[in-house]
């Protein structure tokens, strides 16, 4: 009798443990995701967030929270359109995959076969650079090299200008040996699509990808949206207060970051991937072979520690980051424009896709939401991502403030002492960089002003710092990109040129001031 009681007890305990295990592996309930998003909005000062989750071919969550704009307080929903920025890169690789399927190109074709004028820092690299090399961030160029040709304000650089100017960017690593994220080479990839297909990149993507998938609200560029009534304003923290900032009008870099879409449409995009390239059950957008290539590791990315998901490898495929998380393959990408950031994540083995779109340039929100939802499906408990990433954010902000405050103190000290090494009158003049073009340093009412000819938002006042250095404080305070300006002198002590470097460690890498080498032209 006692043995039977023990047996029944063991069976009961096993049953409870089994039920508990199954429960832990289930997704978060809609109400729990609601609460998670609302907490993220408050913790990270994000005005609006929309989230989509698809599992086993079914949409299990699609909803917006907060507002599209602090200026209007219009509600954000699942149909609110957001610039998805670098999540557009996957549209470029799928577009190329379609052309590969049609036999019009090969992944390993040379870029110069389609764009003869394409040149980089080395004749060998230029001649052997392939279409696949455009997509894999292993070119030998540095992180974000040349991004100032289109960032922050689009300026007046054309695709022709960018292709020409790539030759002036310096090599920082050996060809095909090191991962360094790049945007400009995706612009070149978009031009390959245009020259092969006879259609512009936005036209090709809209006609060959968005239209078949039924992504009726989306477009390859903001200006091509048919209906702009449900779009966001971008937001950023400007001197401690979140506010609407100037819209980033992506045009030339469309193939790197131009798509505008919403949760409703992007769920169809993600479902296509999770269905092996198919849509509407039996229609095929891109072949399994091309999709396999897109999702195969191309460039290894160093993993410093296993982290919370016991990650052992990380790599870049074609338009996606790849890694192992909790024993599963993860396919993901983030995207950031000024005032908005996004993330798309897929776990193919679980037929799971998660999309988070936000209208503030703070990445902690989308990471918290994505990771907490993933934890639900992985059966992981005990971690509060909102709390953890919010604390990490505050730490990073405090460290950055310490850096900028120290610089500000040095500027004030230089002003108070009057011991300025370089007279502003001596540095005033015209300067030119090989790929960025001309800027002017002008004295107006006793103030030294920096003004870019081709990127108008890069305008600001300069202040003496130390020795031969100044800082430039941009008029547009939303950019968070003030920079050091370090002058080089000739033997007579006259300024002949200067280099630049961002001051804050949190400045977006696309402000690649460090790649500039200005020489006096007047």
- pLDDT reading at 10 higher than 50: no
At 27, the pLDDT band (50, 70, 90 cuts) reads confident
pLDDT one-digit tens code per residue, 439-492: 999 999 999 999 999 999 999 999 999 989 999 999 999 999 999 999 999 998
Number of H helices, E strands in the chain: 15, 22
Say what the pLDDT of residue 26 is: 53
Whether the Cβ atoms of residue 343 and residue 356 lie closer than 8 Å to each other: yes
- As assigned by CATH, the class of the 397-520 domain is mainly beta
pLDDT one-digit tens code per residue, 218-229: 999 999 999 999
pLDDT one-digit tens code per residue, 148-186: 999 998 668 999 999 999 999 999 999 999 999 999 999
* Rg, C-alpha atoms of the chain: 25
- The structure tokens listed for 60 are 């299990």
Cα dihedral sign, 512-513-514-520 = positive
- Calculate the average pLDDT of the chain: 93
- pLDDT reading at 16 higher than 50: no
Return the domain boundaries, the chain.
Answer: 20-140+175-383, 397-520
Question: Could you tell me which residues come within 8 angstroms of residue 239 by beta carbon, excluding any fewer than 6 positions away?
Answer: 477
Q: Distances in Å between the alpha carbon of 14 and those of 33, 207, 247, 381?
A: 30, 55, 57, 20
Selecting from 3.90.190.10, 3.40.710.10, 3.40.50.2300, 3.40.50.2000, what CATH number does the domain 20-140+175-383 have? Answer: 3.40.710.10
Burial readout 449-479 (b: 16 or more C-beta within 10 A, e: otherwise): bbebebbebbbbebbbbeebbbbbbbebbbb
Q: Angle at Cα 188 formed by Cα 187 and Cα 190, nearest 5°?
A: 65
Q: Distances in Å between the alpha carbon of 126 and those of 6, 112, 190, 334?
A: 75, 8, 18, 29
- pLDDT reading at 256 higher than 90: yes
Write the DSSP assignment of 318-374 as a string of letters.
SSSEEEEETTEEEEEEEEEETTEEEEEEEEGGGTEEEEEEESSS-THHHHHHHHHHH
Say what the pLDDT of residue 270 is: 99
Q: Residue 179: which of 129, 130, 137, 133 has the closest Cα? A: 137
Q: Residue 35: which of 369, 430, 381 has the closest Cα? A: 369
Whether the Cβ atoms of residue 500 and residue 486 lie closer than 8 Å to each other: yes
For residue 483, give the 3-state DSSP assignment: strand
Say what the pLDDT of residue 447 is: 95
Strand pairing class (260-261; 340-347): unpaired
Report, as an integer, the average pLDDT of 338-346: 97
Residue with tokens 């500039």: 516
pLDDT one-digit tens code per residue, 368-386: 999 999 999 999 999 999 9
């Amino acid at each position: 009798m006692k043995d039977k009681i023990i047996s029944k007890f063991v069976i009961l305990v096993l049953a409870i443990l089994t039920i508990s295990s199954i429960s832990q592996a289930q997704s978060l309930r809609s109400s729990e995701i609601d609460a998670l998003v609302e907490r993220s909005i408050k913790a990270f000062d994000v005005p609006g967030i929309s989230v989509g989750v698809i599992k086993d071919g079914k949409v299990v969550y699609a909803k917006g929270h907060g507002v599209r704009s602090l200026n209007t307080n219009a509600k954000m929903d699942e149909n609110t359109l957001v610039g998805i920025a670098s999540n557009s890169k996957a549209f470029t690789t799928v577009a190329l995959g379609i052309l590969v399927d049609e036999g019009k190109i090969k992944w390993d074709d040379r870029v110069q076969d389609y764009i003869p004028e394409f040149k980089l820092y080395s004749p060998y690299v230029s001649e052997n650079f392939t279409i696949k090399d455009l997509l894999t961030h292993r070119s030998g160029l540095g992180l974000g090299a040349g991004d100032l040709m289109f960032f922050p304000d689009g300026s007046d650089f054309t695709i022709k200008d960018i292709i020409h100017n790539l030759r002036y960017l310096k090599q920082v690593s050996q060809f095909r040996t090191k991962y360094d994220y790049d945007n400009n080479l995706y612009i070149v990839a978009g031009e390959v699509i245009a020259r092969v297909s006879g259609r512009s990149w936005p036209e090709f993507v809209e006609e060959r990808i968005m239209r078949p998938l039924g992504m009726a609200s989306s477009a390859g560029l903001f200006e091509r949206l048919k209906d702009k009534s449900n779009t966001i304003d971008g937001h950023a923290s400007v001197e401690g207060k979140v506010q609407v900032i100037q819209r980033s009008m992506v045009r030339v870099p469309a193939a790197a970051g131009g798509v505008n879409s919403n949760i409703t449409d992007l769920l169809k995009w993600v479902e296509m991937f999770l269905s092996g390239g198919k849509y509407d059950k039996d229609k095929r957008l891109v072949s399994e072979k091309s999709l396999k290539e897109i999702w195969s590791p191309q460039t290894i990315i160093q993993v410093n520690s296993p982290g919370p998901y016991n990650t052992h490898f990380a790599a870049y495929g074609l338009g996606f980051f790849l890694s192992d998380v909790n024993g599963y393959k993860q396919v993901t990408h983030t995207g950031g424009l000024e005032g908005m950031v996004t993330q798309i994540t897929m776990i193919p083995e679980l037929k799971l896709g998660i999309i988070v779109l936000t209208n503030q340039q703070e990445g902690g929100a989308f990471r918290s939401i994505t990771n907490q939802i993933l934890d639900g499906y992985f059966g992981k408990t005990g971690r509060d991502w909102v709390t953890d990433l919010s604390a990490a954010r505050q730490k990073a902000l405090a460290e950055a403030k310490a850096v900028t405050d120290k610089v500000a103190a040095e500027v004030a000290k230089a002003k108070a002492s009057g011991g300025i090494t370089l007279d502003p009158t001596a540095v005033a003049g015209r300067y030119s960089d090989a790929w960025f073009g001309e800027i002017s340093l002008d004295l107006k009412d006793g103030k030294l002003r920096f003004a870019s000819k081709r990127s108008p938002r890069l305008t600001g006042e300069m202040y003496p710092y130390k020795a031969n250095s100044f800082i430039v404080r941009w008029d547009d305070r939303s950019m968070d990109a003030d920079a050091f300006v370090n002058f080089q002198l000739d033997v007579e002590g006259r300024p002949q040129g200067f280099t630049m470097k961002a001051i804050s460690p949190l400045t977006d890498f696309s402000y690649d001031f460090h790649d500039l080498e200005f020489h006096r032209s007047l």
